[in-house]
Structure 1
Amino acid sequence: MKIAVYGATGMVGAQIVKESLRRGHEVTAVSRSGAPVPGASACRAELADVRTFANIVNDHDAVVLATVPSRTSGNHSEWLAAMKAAFESAGSTRLMVVGGTGGLEIGGVRLCDSPGFPEAYRAEARTMAAVYDEIRSAPDTLDWTMLAPAPAMQPGARTGCYVTAGDSPAGSSITVPDFAVALLDELESPAHRRSRFTVANPDRGTDTAAGRH
């Protein structure tokens, strides 16, 4: 499969590139810097560059969007507009979107709207949740899946084991390598087309869905 990964030099994107290469896929690593990535073709591009995005879409079997809004003083509306433009330009190419935990729900309340949610991350979480609202209203022709992590996602071991859930957290944490395993499993064997799901590493004694690789 020929896969393009936007945000390829970030914490999550880099692991998605690594897992894709591990499985023998042809990868284009897209980033603002165009930094070289061993084993992949590097591409320097902004998500907001619609022309380049359209060219990448036409030349790949799948595109992964692993970008986030500004974590400094940047305007989130610019990133949200770029994501919306990407959805409108993807055509029939498979689109995998790395979502945010804050848009998940417990008891019908989004985590980003709950009183205990960290205030420092609330604005970003609500913007990520808005992306889900945008993509689920996209035309039926858009072949998309959004994968949201567990509330805690951090570096760690690649176990290849994870549990899944729909709109509520599947567990408390996930390692970044196992998040990448779940994303590639979905790309290779789609089970959540035009929907969102979430993953977590299993707690002891929990039945697991194991990555195949």
Structure 2
Amino acid sequence: MKIGLIAASGKAGSHILREALMRNHDVTAIVINKAILKRTDVETLEKDLFHLTKKDIEPFDVLINAFAPTTDEAYLHVNAGKHLISILEGTQKKLFVVGSSGCLYIDRDKTIRLMDHKKYPEHLKESAKYQLLNLQDLQNSSIQWTFLSPSAMFDSDGPRTGHYIIGRERLLVNSQFNSYISYADFAVAVIDELENANYINTIFTVASENTTTAS
């Protein structure tokens, strides 16, 4: 599988890159400045994602969008999503998006999202709002896509256990009643999905767990 990984030097991107290389996938790191990429054992494409063209993505079977703009520029989630949809239209290539926990529902009737909860961090609300708009653009597009939302607690320093539970549009809690996923386990889930293609044209979510039982 040939993977183009956008924002491979970021928190989520760097973990996904490590996991993909560990499983011997053919990965190209797409970064705006390859000097900040900590690895030298990977092919790179030094380009702003907004300047990517159909020709640039020809070699890839899948594009992973791990782009994470600052809070002040959270609207770029929408702009980036629209651009990637435009260059993927008419192809058989897949877009895999690193989503937001704020997009997940927290009630059984699926009327209230996590971002609407009063305790959801203010600095994450803007990103979640624009990630939801990005998700809606994907749902209205003709491309093949998958949108993976992390749990409420997304831990960049957590361990890679390789064990996680799976949910769809609602926030998950594990057996310890925590909505938690490490970046490393999130990366495992990303590559598992690329290898197995269980969630095409849909959103799903994962939480770290100490068993392999999925729900």
TM over 0.5: yes
Alignment match, 1:42: 44
What CA distance in whole angstroms lies between the structure 2 residues aligned with 1:127 and 1:174?
22
Alignment match, 1:208: 213
Percent identity reads: 30
Pick aligned residue for 2:181 from 166, 174, 182: 174
1:129–1:79 distance in 2 versus 1, CA, 3 Å: closer
Task: Report matched runs for 1:24-173 at 5 Å.
Answer: 24-35=24-35, 36=37, 37-51=39-53, 54-71=54-71, 73-74=72-73, 76-90=74-88, 91-107=91-107, 108-139=111-142, 142-154=143-155, 155-171=157-173, 172-173=179-180
Quote how far apart the aligned CAs of 1:79 are: 4.1
Structure 2, unaligned runs of 5 or more: 174-178
- Please give the per-residue CA displacement for 1:105-135, whole angstroms capped at 9, x wherever unaligned: 1112011122221122211111111111111
How large is the RMSD of aligned CA atoms in angstroms? 1.6
TM-score in terms of structure 2 length: 0.88
The secondary structure found in structure 1 opposite 2:96 is strand
Q: 1:66 corresponds to which letter in structure 2? A: A
- Aligned residue pairs, count: 201
| Structure 1 moving runs of 4+ over 4 Å | none
TM-score in terms of structure 1 length: 0.88
What CA distance in whole angstroms lies between the structure 2 residues aligned with 1:121 and 1:199?
19
The secondary structure found in structure 2 opposite 1:63 is strand
Quote how far apart the aligned CAs of 1:170 are: 1.9
What CA distance in whole angstroms lies between the structure 1 residues aligned with 2:59 and 2:185?
27
Q: Does the CA-based 8 Å contact 2:162-2:185 persist in structure 1?
A: yes
- Please give the per-residue CA displacement for 1:54-90, whole angstroms capped at 9, x wherever unaligned: 223211111100012323x33x434422211101211
- Please give the per-residue CA displacement for 1:9-37, whole angstroms capped at 9, x wherever unaligned: 00110011100000011110111112342
Q: Does the CA-based 8 Å contact 1:69-1:127 persist in structure 2?
A: no
Structure 1, unaligned runs of 5 or more: none
